[in-house]
Chains A and B, each alone.
Chain A
């Protein structure tokens, strides 16, 4: 059974640019959550999608957005990149029930210069 796949693994972008990250969940999983991991703030929740609908959202500015497709694949977009957006972005896949096991991908390492 394939795990959670995130692409690309590494990205380098310039301040002011935008970026799109992709996450393919485990087959049969309908929920995708996104997290930002930094040394200073740890793992912070961005948002969660289930059946193409955002069900939950963290405390990030509107520059961070996401969407989910009918095949459960999800993308997150960050516009007008800032240096502080440099982080490991992780997505987690689950069946979508409350309190369900969540499995993470390897993450996308974004560096903003």
Chain B
């Protein structure tokens, strides 16, 4: 079956620095990927997505990179702010309605 993992459970980053959160997936048939941010007491918030026919996608202060060769996904946050402190999840699907496989999550802690 498919497994999704995150490389670091906790990422501590200084305010203003760039953050990089990584995610590995195992199923090469995975074709759609989403990054979510979850703050305490809230549901996951959609950040950015990417489809398997792309390598890179940029949003506001965020960039997602997809390397299908090594089955690796990353989220880059530019100029990290205190409001970016949260748990970040990657979600992966293989052409399957509504069924995403989620990573364990990375806790991002932004320090002043």
Contact = CB atoms under 8 A, between A and B. Distances in A.
Interface of A: 4, 6, 31-33, 35, 42-45, 48, 50, 55-56, 58, 90, 92, 94, 96, 98-99, 101-107
Given A42-B104, A99-B32, A94 B98 contact: yes
A92 B51 CA distance: 19
Contacts of B36: 104
Contact of A45 (B43, B44, B95, B100): B100
Given A102-B46, A105-B43, A33 B98 contact: yes
Contact of A107 (B34, B43, B95, B97): B43
Contacts of A56: 96-99
Contacts, number: 71
B110 to A, nearest CB: 22
B35 to A, nearest CB: 12
Q: How extensive is the interface on chain B, given as a class?
A: 20 to 34
Interface of B: 31-32, 34, 36, 41-46, 49, 51, 89, 91, 93, 95-105
B46 to A, nearest CB: 6
Contact of A55 (B31, B49, B98, B104): B98
